[in-house]
């Protein structure tokens, strides 16, 4: 019998739904999937070892042989179909044929041929739910589940239904569950200090536009999950115009988050908002929020990719006005990753629109480090930026199964610091009722609430004066109090998990105010331009041109040799390669191009970063030819990407000029991100005012403020010995930047040590010792370094604590107030 004549009749066991699919269709699909996506990053190391290299047909033949069906695809698919008939998210087992585990991405591709619909569906009752999901609800749960569906609306896309059939971690986010009837939690976790029409405002400098009240899929953990929110009438274009007029009259607002619901479901409102806001001089950024990239990618491909093409055009128009579009989205677990979502992200980034990801922290889903590490690595290769991890999940009614203690999120931060590229470690953030705070920089846990064990008091960066102009009601809430230092503590519903995290109040400290030493600034500038390399390695590499700076990162000289490339090739943990030189990267593009061409064949490397201080000090060196060359070296793809980034350094806000904005826009339109690492230098830039200006100006010109190095860079080792940085000033700086800046302006506060980087306060333990400051490096132990160098041993000058964590002295850091935020 010809394969083309074979048609499978499927009957899903629980739903009794019947589908038909031709064998020829399945063969064509699996060959296509294996040819285009059969790589380790997407389908896993073990499976790719089976299918090997080659075209899709060759890989399929190897799969058939390993599965015990050599030259017998009909038998292979007969067994596969039989297993797929019983799949649903409750089973939670992998599909195996002759002990060959088939990757989820491949199974979903096959399910797309069996269940090809692309629509979004509202679930009204339990029978409809069972029919769509192939789940049989136990009799004892049916009445309660119906109550849940009526109280918290359920909506699913066919894309999500296919993913849920083979992933419990996806289903966990979208399927209703009887535990949602648990009344624990708030009715509304977000107070919205200012609410006028479709405008919500919690911050002086940015607002939310609610353009559409529904989504194509409803997340069960959403803080807008109640039925009365989901069923609100959508705003009209007249409502949008009134909101735009409010922005026009409020010059303090520079960023607008356009959200909902999903604003991409309302073309008229979206167009009205973008066109109106484009004409307002003080507006800098439009942030368009959608989760459809993950759960309803068809939205961006429908109507000849209307939204992709529309936003490309609008972003160019906004750039002409000195503005930009950014895309905000959520991803929770690596099982959500699809070729479509990676393609959409890359399409936006290649056309000058940053895509940033925010990740709610969900108990039993992504509350361990490895899931987040894989998720963030895949998103980074496509061009995404990782912005926040929200801990804990919103304390809304019906969400209690998702809640984790604060300590769990902070533990995950240590894992990420050890095993993830520094470029994709998100800020660990909590959204309190009066605004966000970043753990152990701009805020911390003060104490338990004395009246209710379910609440804690959190020190925030906000002050009563902050809310006076736009939301004076915030100061009247019964969940806030003004502490001794003049900031606001807020009562927050969460479990701490470890009482040692309660740090108590901080005594008032006079903020540092002084003018920068301009002469010293010029001298320091000349020092850093002499040699841009950071020749420091945490383990031996046997090379004078390659330095291991992290498990995932190496720094190589532009004169790197074949031995250096081989070192990178032989270590699958390396994802990032920083290329530096005594000269500037822009002066070494020929040799850099040769290195990148070699790295393109090393598929575990997905990012190359060029250190270029001349981006700051000589932006004219970035000619059209240079920008075109860099664009050609940047490879944002679904499979085996190798993205290109430019790393620069600003010591002072006065260095950031309009020329940097023009250059950044040109690079963004090639899909190239520019980020800044600033060393904190006493008497140069170590005041809240100055770092806030650097953060603001970086944001204004489109440069990501990546790291504020508190200590440890070569320049700091010499300067800070005589001009130490005070820990109290770092807290004041972080407080000011969080309070007065956009959330997209906030850097990571980093301490660089001989054994690697740690986050100030968050992934290290700081304490006074021998008249100075020492830190315990919480992410690292001896085994960590031995995985990179089996001969590694602790330096003789190093002290190791009883738990195996190293302790190092930090030169140039002091603490006059004796308050440690760790």
Tens digit of each residue's pLDDT (9 = 90 or more) over 395-432: 889 999 999 999 999 999 999 999 999 999 999 999 99
Model confidence pLDDT, tens digit, residues 598-650: 999 999 999 999 999 999 999 999 999 999 999 999 999 999 999 999 999 99
Among 89, 114, 139, the domain boundary falls at 114
pLDDT in tens, 579-592: 999 889 999 999 99
Average pLDDT over residues 221-232: 80
Q: Does one domain contain both 534 and 428?
A: no
Residues with Cβ within 8 Å of residue 654, at least 6 apart in sequence: none
Rounded to the nearest 10 degrees, how much is the dihedral formed by the CA atoms of 697, 703, 704, 708?
-60
Considering only residues 229 and 136, tell me which one the structure prediction assigns the higher pLDDT.
136
Residues 480, 407: Cα–Cα separation, whole Å: 23
CA distances to 166, 445, 809 from 28, in Å = 21, 56, 61
Which residue is it, tokens 């073990």? 46
Which position has the higher pLDDT, 189 or 139?
139
In a domain, 717, yes or no: yes
Contact 52, 62 (CB under 8 A): yes
- Our count of domains for the chain comes to 3
For the chain, give the number of residues.
822
What pLDDT digit, counting tens, does each position of 321-337 carry?
A: 999 999 999 999 999 99
Q: How far apart are CA 578 and CA 609, in angstroms?
A: 5
CA pair distance 183, 411, nearest whole angstrom:
29
Give residue 42's Cα distance to chain centre.
19
Alpha-carbon torsion (663, 665, 671, 676), positive or negative: positive
> Do 314 and 351 contact (CB within 8 A), yes or no?
no
Is 98 in the same domain as 240? no
Q: What is the pLDDT of residue 4?
A: 59
Q: Are residues 574 and 721 in the same domain?
A: yes
- 434 contacts: CB under 8 Å, gap ≥ 6: 191, 193, 202, 460, 462, 467, 474, 477, 480, 488, 490
CA 511 to chain centre: 32
| Helix H or strand E segment including 346 | helix 339-350
pLDDT at 189: 62
Average pLDDT over residues 705-712: 98
Domain co-membership, 94 together with 200: no
Q: Mean pLDDT for the chain?
A: 95
Of residues 771 and 299, the one with the higher pLDDT is 299
- The span from the CA of 726 to the CA of 729, in Å, is 5
Q: Read off the pLDDT of residues 345-392 as tens digits, 9 standing for 90 and up.
A: 999 999 999 999 999 999 999 999 999 999 999 999 999 999 999 999
Mean pLDDT (whole number) for 672-687: 97
Confidence grade of residue 226 (pLDDT, cut at 50, 70, 90): confident
Q: What is the pTM of this model?
A: 0.96
User: Does residue 474 register a pLDDT over 80?
Assistant: no
Here the tokens at position 565 are 């490339």
Q: Is residue 251 part of a domain?
A: yes
Residue 2 has pLDDT above 60, yes or no: no
- Per-residue pLDDT at 1: 40
Among 80, 114, 148, give the residue marking a domain's end: 114
Strand 725-726 versus strand 748-753 pairing type: unpaired
pLDDT at 553 over 70: yes
Q: Per-residue DSSP letters for 348-372?
A: HHHTT-EEEEEEE--TTTT-SHHHH
Asked if 100 and 200 sit in the same domain, the reply is: no
Domain annotation covers residue 307: yes
Per-residue exposure over 760-799, b if at least 16 CB sit within 10 Å of its own CB, e if not: bbbbbbbeeeeeebbbbbbbbeeebbeebeeebeeeeeee
Residue 147 lies in a domain: no
Question: Domain check: are 577 and 699 in the same one?
Answer: yes
The predicted structure's pLDDT at residue 225: 81
> 3-class SS at 812?
coil
Structure confidence at residue 797 (pLDDT): 86
Which CA distances in Å does 565 have to 540, 560, 581, 598, 604?
A: 15, 8, 16, 8, 13
| 136 — pLDDT class (breaks 50, 70, 90) | very high
Three-state SS string over 694-758 comes to HHHHHHHHCCEEEEEEEECCHHHHHHHHHCCEEHHHHHHHHHHHHHHCCHHHCCEEEEEECCEEE
Q: Identify the residue with better confidence: 152 or 90.
A: 152
The residue range of the domain holding 783 is 518-814
Domain-located, residue 511: no
Exposure b/e, 601-637, CB count within 10 A at least 16 = b: ebbbbbbbbbbbbbbbbebeebeeeebebbbebbbbb
Residue where the block lists tokens 């479509």: 340
- Cα pseudo-dihedral 422, 423, 428, 431, rounded to 10: 170
Are 423 and 527 part of one and the same domain? Answer: no
Q: Are 110 and 200 contained in the same domain? A: no
Percentage of the chain exceeding pLDDT 70: 98
> What pLDDT shows up at residue 441?
97
Residue 260 has pLDDT above 80, yes or no: yes
Domain final position from 114, 140, 171? 114
Q: Summarize the confidence of residues 482-502 as an average pLDDT.
A: 96
Q: What is the 3-state secondary structure (H, E, C) of 74-103?
A: HHHHHHHHHHHCCCCCCCCCCCEECCEECC
Report d(CA 256, CA 106) in Å as an integer: 39
Enumerate long-range contacts of 13-17, CB under 8 Å, 24 or more apart. 13/85, 13/86, 13/134, 14/86, 14/88, 14/130, 14/134, 14/135, 14/136, 15/130, 15/131, 15/132, 15/133, 15/134, 15/135, 16/131, 17/131, 17/134
Q: Distance (Å, rounded) from C-alpha 457 to C-alpha 444?
A: 9
Residue 533, pLDDT above cutoff 60: yes
> CATH number, domain at 209?
3.20.20.70
pLDDT for 470: 87
Q: Based on the domain organization, do 383 and 530 belong to the same domain?
A: no
Name the DSSP class of 137: P
Provide the pLDDT for residue 231: 79
Pair 531, 426 in one domain: no
Contact criterion met (CB below 8 Å) for 568 and 605: yes
Residue 311: inside a domain = yes
- List the one residue out of 455, 507, 500 whose CA is nearest residue 480: 455
The average pLDDT across 498-525 equals 90
Query: For the chain, how far is it from start to end, CA to CA, in angstroms?
Result: 71
Helix (H) / strand (E) containing 492: strand 488-493
Handedness of CA 346, 348, 351, 352 (dihedral sign): negative
Q: Which of 48-52, 185-189, 446-450, 551-555 has the lowest mean pLDDT?
A: 185-189
The pLDDT score that the predictor gives to residue 3 is 55
Same domain flag for 251 and 343 = yes
**What would the two tokens of residue 562 be?**
């074949």
Using 50, 70 and 90 to split pLDDT, how confident is the model at 730?
A: very high
- 662 and 809 share a domain? yes
Decide if 424 contacts 748 (C-beta within 8 A): no
* Residue 300 in this model has a pLDDT that exceeds 60: yes
For residue 666, pLDDT beyond 70: yes
Confidence of residue 92 (pLDDT cuts 50, 70, 90): low
Answer yes or no: are the C-beta atoms of 155 and 121 closer than 8 Å. yes
Confidence at residue 222, expressed as pLDDT on a 0 to 100 scale: 92
Judge whether residue 804 has pLDDT over 90: yes
Residue 129 within any structural domain of the chain? no
Question: What is the pLDDT, as a whole number, of residue 291?
Answer: 97
Residue 356 forms part of a structural domain = yes
């Amino acid at each position: 019998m010809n394969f083309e004549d074979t048609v499978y009749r499927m009957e899903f066991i629980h739903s009794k739904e019947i589908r038909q699919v031709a064998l020829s269709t399945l063969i064509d699909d699996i060959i296509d999937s294996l040819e285009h996506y059969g790589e380790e990053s997407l389908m896993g190391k073990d499976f790719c070892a089976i299918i090997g290299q080659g075209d899709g047909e060759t890989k399929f033949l190897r799969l058939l042989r390993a599965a015990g069906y050599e030259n017998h695809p009909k038998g292979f698919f007969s067994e596969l179909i039989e297993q797929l008939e019983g799949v649903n998210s409750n089973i939670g087992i992998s599909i195996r044929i002759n002990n060959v585990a088939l990757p989820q991405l491949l199974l979903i591709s096959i399910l797309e041929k069996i269940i090809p619909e692309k629509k979004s569906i509202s679930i009204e009752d339990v029978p409809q739910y069972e029919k769509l999901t192939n789940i049989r609800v136990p009799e004892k749960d049916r009445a309660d589940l119906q109550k849940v569906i009526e109280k918290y609306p359920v909506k699913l896309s066919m894309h999500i239904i296919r993913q849920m059939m083979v992933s419990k971690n996806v289903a966990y986010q979208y399927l209703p569950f009887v535990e949602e009837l648990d009344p624990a939690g708030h009715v509304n976790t977000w107070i919205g200090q200012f609410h006028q029409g479709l405008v919500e405002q919690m911050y002086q400098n940015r607002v939310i536009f609610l353009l559409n009240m529904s989504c194509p899929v409803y997340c069960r953990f959403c803080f807008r999950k109640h039925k009365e929110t989901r069923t609100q009438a959508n705003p009209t274009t007249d409502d949008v115009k009134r909101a735009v007029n409010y922005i026009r009259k409020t010059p303090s607002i520079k960023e607008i988050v356009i959200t909902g619901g999903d604003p991409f479901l309302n073309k008229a409102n979206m167009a009205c908002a973008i066109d109106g806001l484009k004409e307002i001089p003080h507006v800098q950024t439009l942030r368009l929020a959608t989760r459809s990239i993950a759960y309803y990618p068809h939205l961006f491909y429908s109507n000849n990719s209307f939204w992709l093409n529309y936003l490309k055009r609008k972003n160019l128009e906004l750039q002409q006005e000195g503005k930009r579009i950014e895309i905000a989205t959520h991803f929770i677990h690596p099982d959500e990753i699809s070729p479509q979502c990676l393609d959409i992200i890359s399409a936006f980034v290649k056309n000058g629109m940053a895509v940033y990801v925010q990740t709610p922290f969900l108990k039993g889903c992504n509350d361990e480090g490895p899931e987040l590490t894989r998720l963030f690595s895949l998103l980074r290769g496509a061009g995404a930026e990782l912005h926040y991890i929200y801990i804990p999940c919103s304390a809304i009614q019906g969400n209690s199964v998702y809640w984790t203690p604060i300590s769990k999120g902070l533990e995950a931060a240590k894992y990420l610091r050890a095993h993830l590229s520094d470029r994709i470690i998100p800020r660990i953030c909590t959204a309190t009722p009066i605004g966000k705070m970043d753990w152990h920089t701009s805020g911390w846990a003060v104490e338990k609430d004395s009246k209710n064990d379910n609440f804690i008091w959190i020190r925030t960066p906000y002050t009563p004066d902050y809310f006076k102009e736009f939301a004076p009601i915030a100061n009247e809430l019964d969940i806030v109090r003004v502490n001794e230092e003049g900031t606001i503590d807020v009562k927050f519903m969460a479990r701490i998990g470890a009482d040692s995290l309660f740090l108590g109040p901080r005594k008032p400290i006079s903020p540092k105010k002084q003018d920068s030493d301009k002469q010293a600034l010029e001298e320091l500038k000349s020092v850093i331009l002499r040699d841009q390399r950071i020749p420091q390695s945490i383990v031996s590499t046997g090379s004078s041109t390659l330095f291991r700076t992290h498990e995932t990162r190496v720094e190589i000289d532009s004169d790197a040799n074949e031995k250096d490339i081989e070192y990178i090739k032989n270590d699958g943990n390396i994802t990032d390669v920083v290329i530096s030189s005594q000269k500037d990267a822009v002066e070494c593009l020929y040799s850099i191009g040769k290195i990148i061409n070699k790295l393109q064949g090393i598929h575990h490397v997905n990012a190359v970063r060029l250190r270029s201080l001349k981006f700051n000090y000589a932006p004219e060196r970035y000619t059209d030819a240079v920008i075109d060359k860099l664009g050609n070296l940047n490879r944002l793809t679904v499979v085996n990407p190798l993205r290109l980034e430019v790393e620069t350094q600003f010591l002072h806000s006065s260095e950031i000029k309009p020329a940097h904005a023009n250059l950044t826009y040109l690079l963004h339109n090639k899909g190239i991100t520019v980020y800044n690492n600033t060393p904190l230098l006493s008497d140069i830039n170590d005041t809240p005012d100055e770092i806030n200006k650097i953060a603001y100006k970086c944001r204004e010109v489109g440069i990501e403020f990546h790291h504020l190095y508190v200590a440890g860079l070569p320049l700091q080792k010499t300067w800070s010995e005589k001009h130490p940085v005070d820990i109290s000033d770092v807290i004041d700086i972080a407080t000011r930047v969080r309070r007065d800046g956009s959330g997209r302006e906030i850097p990571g506060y980093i301490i660089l040590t001989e054994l690697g980087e740690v986050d100030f306060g968050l992934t290290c333990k700081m304490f006074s010792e021998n008249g100075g400051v020492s830190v315990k490096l919480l992410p690292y132990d001896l085994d960590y370094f031995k995985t990179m160098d089996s001969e590694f041993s602790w330096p003789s000058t190093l002290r190791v604590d009883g738990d195996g964590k190293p302790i190092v002295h930090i030169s140039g850091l002091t603490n006059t107030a004796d308050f440690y935020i760790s």
